[in-house]
């Protein structure tokens, strides 16, 4: 299994392109699809991925995915790599929704909000914002890296 240092940057970008294609691809396909400067750059990264055991070359000289890589901090959903932080943000969005529902119910029965509850809502909003923003940053990095 490759280390996280080996599967980053352009190598990760090439791997994700080949994985999402789901069919054999050559260096020129990768160059265009992964927006690389030349076929030789694509070929170098394809060879590196083959050496890592993630891709294999078929009889026509095209590369196919041999093994699905485990990438730290991410989950595979179909052919898409999604940061775990996004799932954490969805958890906090659920908690925030429940807290807002409690506020609405209390307003209908004219019950005052306690200071501790307002503090908890503030913490939930901050946690949701942090996880969501960091998750989106990671998602954009894997899309453009």
Q: Tokens at residue 33, please?
A: 């699809």
- Model pLDDT, residue 46: 95
Q: How far is Cα 106 from Cα 49, in angstroms, rounded to an integer? A: 57
- Model pLDDT, residue 111: 87
CB 96 within 8 A of CB 104: no
In order along its 145 residues, the chain shows pLDDT tens digits of 565 556 888 899 999 999 999 899 999 999 999 989 999 999 999 999 999 999 999 999 999 999 888 888 899 998 888 999 999 999 999 999 999 999 999 889 988 888 899 999 999 999 999 999 999 998 888 775 5
């Amino acid at each position: 299994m490759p280390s996280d240092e080996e599967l980053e940057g352009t190598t990760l970008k090439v791997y994700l392109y080949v994985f999402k294609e789901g069919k054999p691809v050559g260096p020129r396909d990768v160059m265009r699809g992964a927006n690389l400067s030349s076929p030789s750059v694509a070929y170098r990264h394809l060879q590196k991925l083959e050496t890592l055991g993630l891709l294999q070359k078929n009889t026509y000289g095209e590369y196919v995915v041999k093994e699905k890589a485990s990438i730290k901090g991410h989950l595979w959903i179909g052919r898409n790599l999604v940061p775990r932080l996004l799932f954490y943000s969805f958890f906090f969005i659920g908690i925030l929704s429940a807290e807002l529902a409690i506020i609405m119910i209390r307003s209908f029965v004219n019950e005052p909000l306690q200071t501790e509850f307002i503090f908890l809502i503030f913490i939930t909003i901050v946690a949701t914002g942090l996880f969501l923003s960091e998750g989106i940053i990671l998602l954009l990095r894997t899309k453009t890296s």
